[in-house]
Amino acid sequence: MAAPVIVEATVKQTATLIFMHGLGDTGHGWSSALAAIRPPFMKVICPTAPTQPVSLNAGFRMPSWFDLKTLDIGGPEDEPGIQSARDSVHGMIQKEISAGIPANRIVLGGFSQGGALALYSALTYDQPLAGVVALSCWLPLHKQFPGAKVNSDDVPIFQAHGDYDPVVPYKFGQLSASLLKSFMKNVTFKTYNGLSHSSSDDEMDDVKDIISKWTQWDSQNMARKAQCCQLS
């Protein structure tokens, strides 16, 4: 797998965003946009998926987190590939924890296939995370849930989808959100009117606000504690 694109924090790092791109893209596809909206204390990691044949695209080789056989609800899925990709994401989380960033200061995110992987990886991780940003995507292996969930019910999920998406149907996103809401306590599903299978300035503004909300309080609290220590 290619080395991830890393955007370091501009002040002392106290949080991390790990964001997975969509099918056929690379970590470079999202790094600039995310660098522009992340808080200054947040490091951004944009890994690039391994290049492999994709059944949906007639076996053509491209960066893909796992094989996509179909984008039909209820169609066959690449369970071993999804679980292998999940293990890679868990490894990235663990690396950040080893570097001193607690799990509850780590946000997972992704677009399309990358968003699907972010959702699956977060739900099957054994420590509460700061949250999940899931853009234009779906919950893979959905029939395994809630049984496959090992994370806390309280992990916040922000799911966003354009209602003109011709690639990952809007209805697919809605159904995933409905299922998630049945066993997770903090799920937001936001519709972007007229948006196709892409992002928008409005969506990125919302992602900026939500990431800041999930990670800001601790940062302010730590700053206050540091100030108190300097005063005393």
Could you tell me the two tokens for 177?
């959100």
Q: Which residues is 232 bridged to in the sheet?
A: none
Among 142, 197, 206, 219, the one annotated catalytic: 197
Name the residue among 160, 138, 154, 136 with its Cα closest to residue 209.
160
Across 121-226, the runs of DSSP E, i.e. the strands, are: 131-135, 157-162, 187-192
Q: Which residues is 110 bridged to in the sheet?
A: 20, 134
CA-CA distance, 29 to 15, in Å (whole number)? 21
Could you tell me the two tokens for 31?
């790094």
Among 165, 176, 206, 219, the one annotated catalytic: 165
Tell me the three state secondary structure of residue 205: helix
| DSSP conformation class of 218 | H
Q: Are 93 and 18 in contact (CB under 8 A)?
A: yes
* 165 flagged as catalytic: yes
Among 112, 121, 136, 176, the one annotated catalytic: 112
Could you tell me the two tokens for 201?
């300035």
Return the active site residues.
112, 165, 197
